[in-house]
Structure 1
């Protein structure tokens, strides 16, 4: 079976070469899947896509005309896929529902600690032979209240680490996890009581811009906000206003709502035209990483292995529980 892999990097190729069955013939394209690049999938039976690939109705219709019957997502999120159109066209869609939730959870904590103890600033100071501690004051994580919005696999892994720091834990999810019984509360209470808020929920029409002007107004002054889930959970312009007013004291982002044209690429020799993103970079209390939270050896192994299993299941006419559309 021939598969066109979009948004492919060297680490994707290395992963599939290790785990893929010989019957899977991958062709790798660095290009992000779009209405312009979709033609690259001509002659293939399936495509493999990532978080910022365009799987909207127009692209899906072009794929269907070319005879593509399977989309293998090498990620857990699927907000970039028009599932209704995929179902109408008879295109099967499968994802990687879990690929080392600890990877994202640990990155979440790394962002919290870096922002709190200003490790990024201390690193640069020491390299300049500046050992003064002024401006590096942090706070004890122990005893602080941490609110987690979303308690799926990643949220649960984050909660386990947070407990180890001696923090008070508050959780919100439409589907409660028995392991976190006793920690659930309303969104309003979570906003009002949390010193740190971390997002671990999927992007859906109900959660888009979950963090907005109204929800920010309910939070403590100086709150720390972390997002390692999906960029559009946050209304970026509202967050910038809250940074300017000091409502947000610390902001950690591994995702950004307009990241598709920025992240995963080396733009060091180019001009970035996104004025909102550039404004975020001007704040000294903002830490941004380029959708890196998933990026561990263990996670990449799981992604390539499970994606390959999803493709083999399709080729064999089987279903393995990772499908999203018929």
Structure 2
């Protein structure tokens, strides 16, 4: 999958690279997702954000128009994402809800979600879609 990761911290880069194992095409951006940096999402399948990135309806529509179909947040919460609009746009949304909330654990959960999406599967308990997914959890 082609992926852009926004608001990436220095310590996260190596952890994501190790967890990824060169499976997905990751573009790592230290800046937050905003009007000036949205161009990095062009042609990507997935946008990965942090809790400091806010995805309201206008930005979600922009991302959808750029070809992005999935949003993944490296957080437990999703209050920074307009889930209703994401659902209206048929965008899948996931978080990293598993017990290991260490930077390494979050990196591994992030790549696990990408791997599941990449193989056409549901992300299970990480799914934050408000609509029923057409893909069943296996």
Same fold by TM-score greater than 0.5: yes
TM normalised by structure 1 equals 0.38
TM normalised by structure 2 equals 0.87
User: How far apart, in 2, do the equivalents of 1:53 and 1:14 lie?
Assistant: 21
2:123 maps to 320
The CA deviation string for residues 230-284 of structure 1, in whole angstroms up to 9 with x for no partner, is xxxxxxxxxxxxxxxxxxxxxxxxxxxxxxxxxxxxxxxxxxxxxxxxxxxxxxx
| 1:307 matched to 2:114 | no
Where do residues 11-26 of structure 1 align in structure 2 (5 Å cutoff)? 11-26=11-26
Say which SS state the counterpart of residue 26 (structure 2) adopts. Answer: strand
Give the CA deviation at 1:22. 2.4
Give the CA deviation at 1:77. 1.1
Structure 2: any 5+ residue segments left out of the alignment? 132-138
User: How far apart, in 1, do the equivalents of 2:84 and 2:45 lie?
Assistant: 20
Q: Higher Cα Rg: structure 1 or 2?
A: 1
Give the CA deviation at 1:324. 0.4
2:91 maps to 91
In structure 2, relative to structure 1, the CA distance for the partners of 1:320 and 1:40 (3 Å cut) is closer
2:8 maps to 8
Q: Is the 8 A contact 1:35 1:58 kept in 2?
A: no
Q: Is the 8 A contact 1:4 1:26 kept in 2?
A: yes
Q: Is the 8 A contact 1:44 1:68 kept in 2?
A: yes
How many residue pairs match? The answer is: 129
User: How far apart, in 2, do the equivalents of 1:45 and 1:15 lie?
Assistant: 21
Give the CA deviation at 1:23. 2.2
User: How far apart, in 1, do the equivalents of 2:63 and 2:99 lie?
Assistant: 27
User: How far apart, in 1, do the equivalents of 2:54 and 2:38 lie?
Assistant: 9
Give the CA deviation at 1:50. 0.2
Give the CA deviation at 1:99. 4.4
